[in-house]
A = this chain, B = another copy of it.
Amino acid sequence: MNHEKTNEQCGKQSIRFSNPPVIISRASIVGEMEGKGPLATYFDEIEADPTFGQESWEKGESEMVRRAVSLAIAKSGIDKEKIRYIFGGDLLGQLIGTTFGLKDFEIPVFGLYGACSTCGESLSLAAMTVAAGYADYALAATSSHFAGAEKQFRFPLEYGNQRPLSATWTVTGSGAFVVASSSSNQPMSGYPHISAITTGKIIDYGVRDSMNMGACMAPAAADVIYQSLYDLSMKPTDFDKIITGDLGKVGSEILIKLLLDNGINIEKNHMDCGVEIFDNSEQDTHSGGSGCGCSAVTLAGYILKKLDEHEWKRVLFVPTGALLSTVSYNEGETIPGIAHALIIEQN
Cβ-defined partner of A94 (8 Å) among B58, B115, B124: B115
Contacts of A202 in B (CB 8 A): 99, 102-103, 109
Interface string of A46-69 (1 = CB under 8 A from B): 000000000110110000000000
Cβ-defined partner of A111 (8 Å) among B96, B99, B121, B325: B121
Cβ-defined partner of A132 (8 Å) among B108, B112, B132, B200: B132
Once the chains are docked, how many angstroms separate the CA of A124 from the CA of B338? 22
A218 touches B (CB below 8 Å): no
Interface residues of A in 76-105 (CB under 8 A from B): 81, 84-85, 89, 91-96, 99-100, 102-103
A300 touches B (CB below 8 Å): no
Contacts of A74 in B (CB 8 A): none
A13 touches B (CB below 8 Å): yes
Cβ-defined partner of A128 (8 Å) among B9, B134, B199: B134
Indicate if the CB atoms of B331 and A59 lie closer than 8 Å.
yes
A232 touches B (CB below 8 Å): no
Indicate if the CB atoms of B112 and A112 lie closer than 8 Å.
yes
Once the chains are docked, how many angstroms separate the CA of A1 from the CA of B5? 10
Contacts of A91 in B (CB 8 A): 94
Contacts of A2 in B (CB 8 A): 6
Once the chains are docked, how many angstroms separate the CA of A208 from the CA of B204? 39
| A278–chain B nearest beta-carbon distance, Å | 24
Indicate if the CB atoms of B58 and A106 lie closer than 8 Å.
no
Cβ-defined partner of A325 (8 Å) among B94, B107, B133, B134: B94
Cβ-defined partner of A133 (8 Å) among B7, B99, B114: B7
Indicate if the CB atoms of A333 and B100 lie closer than 8 Å.
yes
Once the chains are docked, how many angstroms separate the CA of A199 from the CA of B108? 6
Cβ-defined partner of A103 (8 Å) among B121, B125, B204: B204
A315 touches B (CB below 8 Å): no
Q: Told that A9-B134, A93-B327, A95-B323 touch, could you supply 18 new A-B pairs with CB distance under 8 A?
A: A1-B6, A2-B6, A15-B134, A58-B327, A92-B327, A93-B326, A94-B325, A96-B325, A99-B323, A99-B336, A103-B204, A108-B200, A109-B201, A110-B199, A111-B338, A113-B113, A128-B132, A131-B132
20 A-B pairs with C-beta separation under 8 A: A1-B6, A7-B132, A15-B134, A92-B325, A93-B325, A93-B326, A94-B113, A94-B323, A94-B325, A96-B333, A103-B202, A103-B323, A110-B112, A110-B199, A111-B121, A112-B113, A125-B125, A128-B134, A132-B134, A152-B327
